Every structure is written in structure tokens, then in C-alpha cells.
Amino acid sequence: MNAAKLQNMLAGQSSLARKVFQVVPIQERWSAHDIFNSLMVAETTGAQFPAVRRGLGELKDAGLIREPVNGHFQRTAITITPQREHSMSKETKPAVGTTKKSEGSALDTLAVLSGEVISFAEEVGQRMKKLAVRIEEVALSVEAEREVNAEALDKFKLLQSLLKGG
């Protein structure tokens, strides 16, 4: 992963996930609790552990960090490829020349661009599916919490009525 791709992927993350990313080490692997404690010591965020764990999951799903050992996280290394910049400059020169040659090659260029757009749309679709799954999981946990709270409220009302009656 190069630096530009990393920045683009980070820009799509939540602010908590970006803060969590800043404390995940590159050289070592840390447990989720170590990362949480590092955030608390740095006073970067006041988020609770489950939220930090969720941020780690988001970063892992995006490919920004990896989990080499269960529960331990490490940043994905950034690769710097100066050779790629040279090859890109070589590719742009023929593209200018091909637009002057004929319309047939322009259609080829449009076909390539169309393929890139389709590929990008598939990536966005996959990411949206992952987000939908996570939203559904959170909704289910909220519903479960609501049911637990409703049961606790019923018990509280029963206790209150018993105390008033007694």
C-alpha cells in the first residue's frame, strides 16, 4: 500500500478509527487493550473499549491494519515505489500521441476507463455491503440492549409497586 492510498482510505474512516490508527504500531503487534490504554494515556479520545475495538475492526476491514495474532494488531506497512512514478510518466506520453492517431484507439481508451469505473463501483459495492452488515450487527445489539432495559424497567416498576403497597 502506498502513502496516497493510505491517506484516501483513512479519509473514509470515522474520526475514532483515525485516532486509533495513529497509535497502532508498525514494528510490533499490540493487543486491543494496549491500544486502548495508549489512547487513554495520550488523552486522544474518551471512547470506551468496545468503541475502540470497533474502530480496530473498521481499520482491519479496510486493510489499514492487520491482526497477525488473534486480538493483537499491527499497521500495514507503506511501500514507496519511485519506479511506478516513472512508468506512469511513460504511459501518459503515448496516451497523448494516441489521441492524435485515430478514433479506434480512443475507443480502446474509453473501454479501459469504463473497466476502471466498473472495478471502482464493485469495490464501493463491497464496502457498502460490509457497512450494511456492521450496521445490522449494531442494530441487533441495540435491540438486545433495549429488551434488557425493558425487562429491568418492568422489574423496577414491580419493586416500586411492592414498596408502595407494603
Bigger pLDDT: 2 or 115? Answer: 115
Is 125 a residue whose pLDDT tops 70?
yes
Phi, psi angle pair for 69, to nearest 5°? -125, 145
Residues contacting 130, CB < 8 A, separation 6+: 61
Q: How much is the pLDDT for 93?
A: 53
Mean pLDDT of the chain: 82
Alpha-carbon gap, residue 2 to 73, rounded angstroms = 19
Cβ atoms of 62 and 27 within 8 Å: the answer is no
Average pLDDT over every residue of 93-101: 49
Segment 32-81, tens digit of pLDDT:
999 999 889 988 788 899 999 999 998 998 888 988 888 899 888 777 66
pLDDT exceeds 50 at position 162: yes
Measured distance CA(61)–CA(52) in Å, rounded: 14
**Residue 8: predicted pLDDT:** 82
Residue 151 has pLDDT above 90, yes or no: yes
